[in-house]
Structure 1
Amino acid sequence: MGSLEMAALAGWHDALPELVSMIGKPGFAGRLDSALREVAPFDLSCAFAYPGRDRPMFLHDGLGAVSSTQIMTNYLNGTYLLDAVYSACLRRAPQGLHRLADLAPDAFFEGEYYNSPDVHPCISMESGTLAEEIVFLVPVQGSFYIAYSLLRANGSPAFREKDFERLQRTAPMVTSLAQRHWEHLAPAGSDSEPAQQPTGQDVEQAFETFAPSRLTRREQGIVSLILRGHSSMSIGRILEIAEGTVKIHRKHIYAKLDISSQTELFNLFIKHLLAGR
């Protein structure tokens, strides 16, 4: 490790005693942001708790004025189901720091969710799409996860490999601190699903109730994979069918819904997801 890397990490190590003393207190996450900016710069940050299949909790707002209250409310009420970070937590991805590109489906970054300021809680018409998101995944108990994201905004460079490597060196302590700070939110005495009131809008239910009179169960499953960022090739691998068969299914789905594009499919699903909320 060179002198620049050592200097970048020195500020982090100096901040650790204060961070430990702030566990359970207001201002902890903001101080964590400040300490990590000594390691590698980033523009925005946020933290969410994902309690298994229940509604997420917004724990830390380091987004400034980027996200509107309504878009964040919509995210918490259902659009999180399309977020690759949520999907990673749901499948219990390993603890530590990850590039979102390593967690997301192959077509996620070209999809409507990632690029829509009307849905994505971390972008806006003014700020544009993100340059990159990296995320500390923190399993707290059973299916209860914390996701603490560092984001570089449009116009900033993506995290260089050296930036990422330095931040990876902080990951064991970051995840430990986050676990201790937010562990009180997890249900006590259980290592399975959290004992919250179910929302009735987990991934399967959300798609099973989408156009049930017009789409077959297989077609609803394909809609789910499309909108969560899978290409036809990826869907074919998951369902063990040919890519051409996936494209035929997609054509039938569009015809049954009287639409002609994935954007229209996305808009229909979002309208369904947020209806009455």
Structure 2
Amino acid sequence: MSESQLNTLLAEAISSISSTRFTLSLMRFLKLLGSYDNAVILGYAAGKHPVYLFDSLESNRHLLFQQYLTSTFQQDPFYHQLLTRQEGVFSLKQVIKQREHQDYLHQFYLQTGWQDELCLLINIGAERDVLIFLGVTNEKSRFTADQLVCFKQHFAVIKALCQQHWQHAAFNLAQSFNEIVISRATMRSYVDESIQTFAQSVLTKRQQQIASLLVQGLDSSEVSAQLGLSIGTVKNYRKQIYAQLHINSLGELFQLFLNHLLTHAPD
């Protein structure tokens, strides 16, 4: 890594602040600091589900949208680290507790194919945080002590970039779609598929059917009429859906659906 390369990529990241190019520019800058195979960026607001901001996953992408963002994030040791309000660069080895996180490791993490992981926890103000997850998938690869030191040395710069980009703007899923160019037919196809599969791994068939209608904009009375159920029954199902997905409002349900929709977005 030469100083010239570093300065060039840093300049690109700075110039892309407040544009849809920012996350890609930021990742190129991080790649120069330490090699990784996959990356995920999520936005966190206090008491809310994480918001998808970026990923470069090449496999098992469905795990992020269908499991992690729905509920599994609450078991992530990096999320537990976030709750302590400490920011910085952390390795998986630093935060993992074998007994406490055993279920997370065996029921979720092993499925991802990641062999090692670093996480950059960045507070951008007002109980809002950005977490950058960097993973390696080669069984023989691990992040080195030198790489960890390098990320830590440049953490202040990375934090400043993220603060300038996100501090005064809402975490926006729409940015993730800006570079997708597809036909209307293809769009309709993957939206339909997303509706049919939304939360199916955690909801019963009837709950999923009702949730799929809610995310299409139907209210309880319209769902009642379409399915031949009483409004009271629909409302009870709605409460069950919220409880299963750990949410409290229709807005949060839409947020989860948008996360899920990205699973089927064309590459």
- TM bucket (normalised to shorter chain) is 0.5 to 0.7
Q: Does 1:23 align with 2:17?
A: yes
Q: Which residue matches 1:149? A: 133
Query: Structure 1, residues 243-269: CA drift from partner, whole Å, max 9, x if none?
Result: xxxxxxxxxxxxxxxxxxxxxxxxxxx
Alignment of 1:204-219 (within 5 A): none
Change (3 A) 1:10 1:158: farther
CA RMSD in angstroms comes to 2.6
Query: Structure 1, residues 150-199: CA drift from partner, whole Å, max 9, x if none?
Result: 1111424111111211222221111111122122127xxxxxxxxxxxxx
Q: Which residue matches 1:114? A: 105
Return 5+ residue gaps in structure 2 as ranges: 172-242, 248-252, 254-267
* Identity, % of aligned positions: 19
Q: How far is 1:274 from its partner?
A: 4.7
Does structure 1 retain, via aligned residues, the 8 Å contact 2:43–2:52? yes
Paired AA for residue 72 in structure 1: F
Change (3 A) 1:71 1:151: closer
TM normalised by structure 2 equals 0.58
Q: Does 1:83 align with 2:68?
A: no
SS in 2 for 1:102: helix
Return 5+ residue gaps in structure 1 as ranges: 1-6, 187-271
Does structure 1 retain, via aligned residues, the 8 Å contact 2:40–2:56? yes
Q: Which residue matches 1:159? A: 143
Q: Which residue matches 1:99? A: 91
Alignment of 1:1-277 (within 5 A): 7-8=1-2, 10-68=4-62, 71-93=64-86, 95-107=87-99, 111-116=102-107, 119-120=108-109, 124=111, 128=113, 130-183=114-167, 184-185=169-170, 273-274=244-245
What CA distance in whole angstroms lies between the structure 1 residues aligned with 2:140 and 2:157? 27
Does structure 1 retain, via aligned residues, the 8 Å contact 2:71–2:246? no
Does structure 2 retain, via aligned residues, the 8 Å contact 1:89–1:143? no
Paired AA for residue 69 in structure 2: L
Q: How far is 1:17 from its partner?
A: 1.2
What CA distance in whole angstroms lies between the structure 1 residues aligned with 2:68 and 2:9? 33
Does structure 2 retain, via aligned residues, the 8 Å contact 1:45–1:62? yes
Name whichever structure is richer in helix by fraction.
2
Change (3 A) 1:164 1:26: same
What CA distance in whole angstroms lies between the structure 1 residues aligned with 2:12 and 2:104? 38
Q: How far is 1:13 from its partner?
A: 2.3
Q: Which residue matches 2:193? A: none
Change (3 A) 1:103 1:142: farther
Query: Structure 1, residues 91-150: CA drift from partner, whole Å, max 9, x if none?
Result: 211x221113223334356x131233xx45xx64xx63x221111111112322111111
Does structure 2 retain, via aligned residues, the 8 Å contact 1:30–1:62? no
Paired AA for residue 74 in structure 2: L
Instruction: Say how many residue pairs are matched.
Output: 176
